[in-house]
A and B are shown apart, each in its own frame.
Chain A
């Protein structure tokens, strides 16, 4: 049984339908990528899974439980945690305060468990440890992205939703972020990744979905899609 199962999901902004019946699933432990051009509905999908955007029809089932109507903040406690597009870092809070916000919905059995979670985030992102008293808003784009992912990890997600973590970052930093995403996945966290950087994303994911104007048009293992000439042509920018 998949951990996250989205069936025939339709989402509309007013009268404009952004997703026309998207069906996809993420199995426990997988790294699944959603690729697609601008306006394909990738971010809308993420917002709907997080619960910030209501569904017009269709359903979302998480771990056997129908969460279609569940409030966003309750989903966090259930284990669906997102590092949003554009990072959503609290600009006026320090790195440490941002991380503390990350575990807002989580109760720790002990102080040690809390500290261990912080340590784990700092291990993945040593940069954050150096800057723990810096204000979120004053950090570089790459650092903010690290903070957004680190903050999401504080909640101990069962499925981590990453919305375009490579957006607006230098190639070097993108490499680094993707390496860490793989590492997080390897450590046992299920990841649903939305990306425009198809090359990097596909080569690292177990499976992928291709989204085109609000519908899934292709799906398959990441490596397979990477080798597909049509995908190459459309998303990888190689002739």
Chain B
């Protein structure tokens, strides 16, 4: 964004400007410029009500928006998990530019960590009389353990493989995802093999006559306030925390290094960026966020089995990131929402705007439609729905303020 004398590029199309400055003029850009120029307290004052509104979506039951085939709360709970995954995967793929096709592996490790620690079917169950987990808080206590275990697994996978680049890294990570799934399928004694692990712990809160197992138990609640809504709210809290952490990282020297690595790894190295170390950081941070999402999944479904961690889901996660806009946190959350919501929107719907449709069939064919959507997107908007605008630490908000000031001043002709 321009800090100095403005050029005429705000009006013309990007390609028509001789200097080829960053294109201005889109609605998104205007919105971004407006938002970034706001003072921090103002951003909070506007952001918090917005988040509350998003949180109240399942309760408000907005007519067309609400799903008919499944509970809207459950759909949003799934969205929460996918949003977390998208944010984590975005650190790896969008920020550092490392193509990870086995991200589902971390999700699985997070889910299995919680399940192994809390399921009665597991040999390492810690919920029993001599276990170190309390009955009521087991899930919450297992959550940081799951995050730590996935972080370590990210380190273990990353240390040898991050010396590879591009396609080679993608293939190795693809293999990793499969290895995790196959291990889960074959280590019968620990993971229960194909039978999976049932009765995974969940937060025991709000127990009452209507909900004897608390509001978080599967199948609890009636009407709008189902267990899905509670899980959705839990994931929203985690998303906000993760967004703040990742956002701060992106604005720091770490984020700057990631962008440089993404753009040109060799050039970054000869600028003095310890590329391997920062790639490993991206991998570990991405992995732990994926593990967090897996822990949510295990708690909500209370059951994990290998079939939930197929490669196709890995691709679906990547699809959310690419669709929303690699590198843009809000973009990838939007991507996650579309990936989760659209099939559920059609599920069980028999008509839309008076036109009769077979919604369930459409939902079944979701991979076909996502495939087509991705191809169309790659042709017309390869940067994703909400593309990234990288701003570096050196400028931050001052730059946006300057850009705004500049746009209110008369256009100065540039001498060149």
Contacts and interface: CB of A to CB of B under 8 A. Distances in A.
B1 interface: yes
B274 A90 contact: no
Nearest to A90: B263
Contacts of B63: none
A88 B268 CA distance: 9
Interface stretch (A15-23, A69-77, A188-196): A69-77
Interface in A177-215: none
Interface in B2-34: 2-4, 19-22
Contact of B269 (A52, A134, A138, A155): A52
Interface string A53-93: 00000000000000000011100110001101000111111
A174 to B, nearest CB: 20
Contact of A77 (B268, B272, B415): B272
A52 B267 CA distance: 10
A93 B268 CA distance: 12
A82 B3 contact: no
Interface residues of A, number: 36
A10 B256 CA distance: 35
A231 interface: no
Given A73-B275, A100-B392, A130-B414, A50 B270 contact: yes
Nearest to B392: A97
Given A73-B275, A100-B392, A84 B259 contact: no
B394 interface: yes
B395 to A, nearest CB: 8
A73 B273 contact: yes
B271 A101 contact: yes
B260 interface: yes
B266 interface: yes
Interface string B119-148: 000000000000000000000000000000
Contacts of B61: none
B394 A52 contact: no
Interface in A82-133: 82, 84, 88-94, 96-97, 100-102, 104-106, 130-133
Contacts of A76: 270-272
Given A105-B272, A130-B415, A133-B22, A93 B394 contact: no
Given A96-B394, A134-B21, A72 B264 contact: no
Contacts of B274: 71, 73
Interface centre among B270, B273, B275 (most CB of A within 10 A): B270
Given A92-B390, A96-B394, A130-B415, A73 B267 contact: no
Interface in B269-300: 269-275
A37 interface: no
A130 B275 CA distance: 31
Contacts of B22: 94, 133-135
B7 to A, nearest CB: 9
Contacts of B20: 134-135, 138-139
A117 to B, nearest CB: 13
B42 interface: no
Interface centre among B4, B272, B275 (most CB of A within 10 A): B272
A151 interface: yes
A133 B390 CA distance: 13
30 contacts: A71-B274, A73-B269, A73-B272, A73-B273, A76-B272, A77-B272, A81-B270, A88-B266, A88-B267, A90-B260, A90-B263, A90-B264, A90-B267, A93-B260, A97-B392, A100-B256, A101-B271, A101-B273, A104-B256, A104-B260, A104-B271, A105-B271, A105-B272, A133-B1, A133-B21, A134-B20, A134-B22, A135-B20, A135-B21, A138-B20
Interface of A: 50-52, 71-73, 76-77, 81-82, 84, 88-94, 96-97, 100-102, 104-106, 130-135, 138-139, 151, 155
Given A76-B272, A92-B263, 19 more contacts: A52-B266, A52-B269, A71-B274, A73-B274, A77-B272, A81-B270, A88-B264, A88-B267, A90-B267, A92-B259, A93-B260, A93-B390, A93-B392, A97-B390, A101-B256, A133-B2, A134-B20, A138-B20, A138-B21
